[in-house]
Amino acid sequence: MTSQTKVTGVILAGGQARRMNFKDKGLQIFNGQTLISYSFNAIRPIVDELIINTNQNVNVYQKFGVPIISDLTQNFSGALAGILAAMHYSKEGILIVAPCDAPFISTTQLQYLFSEHEKNGAEITVACTGNQIHAVFVVLNVEPNLRASLESYLANGNHKVRLWFTQHHTHFVNFGENTSGFENINTLAELNGDHAMPKCTNQ
């Protein structure tokens, strides 16, 4: 990591995984490894500290040897709740966010997203492919005003990630039409090999 600012990575594993029969998605096995292992290995080389956001099975996730943080609320409030918890944990610097269910993401792609964030000076930088926004592949500044904004947004019952982005200086990085790397495993069928490649886009 060449940045003079502390960079913290967070893997979001705090969801309920309704489409996977409420199984803990990050701990499911895909091609011989837990799903979260892929994001863990991709993000670790480019951050100063790596943390995992989860709301269950904390003792299992502790085996990864990194800090485990939970949402500040108990109602599984979605990706933004995990991001807010990470912002409270890291206090300052830059946060690189990735989901626990993206086994194809690479270190190179995350490094490029981070580099574009530093280059453009935005508050938030988000990955896109074609016309699809990948809202949980994001780099953002850990700043008091951004944290306060997110706290207020969630307190008012809002959970849509993209809508929050529109309230801030957000830069979208288009990785082109090739979605490889940003596909998610959302169902048991996909976990077992019937993985349809989703079509992605940019804004």
Chain segment 49-95, per-residue pLDDT in tens: 999 999 999 999 999 999 999 998 776 678 999 999 999 999 999 99
The burial class, CB within 10 Å (0-12 / 13-18 / 19+), for 24 is buried
pLDDT exceeds cutoff 50 at 34? yes
pLDDT value, residue 199: 36
Nearest to 115 by CA among 46, 194, 65, 60: 46
Average pLDDT over residues 129-145: 94
pLDDT value, residue 77: 72
Average pLDDT over residues 139-153: 96
If you compute the radius of gyration of the chain from its CA atoms, what whole number of angstroms results?
16
Amino acid (one-letter) located at 130: G
pLDDT value, residue 21: 61
pLDDT value, residue 78: 87
Lowest mean per-residue pLDDT among 32-41, 102-111, 114-123, 189-198: 189-198
pLDDT top residue among 19 and 44: 44
pLDDT top residue among 186 and 7: 7
The pLDDT tens digits of the residues spanning 148-203 come to 999 999 999 998 999 999 999 999 999 988 778 998 887 777 777 654 433 333 32
Which domains does the chain carry? 7-191 (3.90.550.10)
Q: In Å, what is the CA distance from 183 to each residue of 25, 42, 165, 198? A: 14, 14, 21, 6
pLDDT value, residue 17: 56
Round the average pLDDT of the chain to a whole number and report it.
Answer: 88
How far apart are alpha carbons 165 and 129 in whole angstroms? 17
pLDDT value, residue 184: 87
- Which residues on adjacent β-strands are paired with residue 169? none
Nearest to 175 by CA among 115, 86, 96: 115
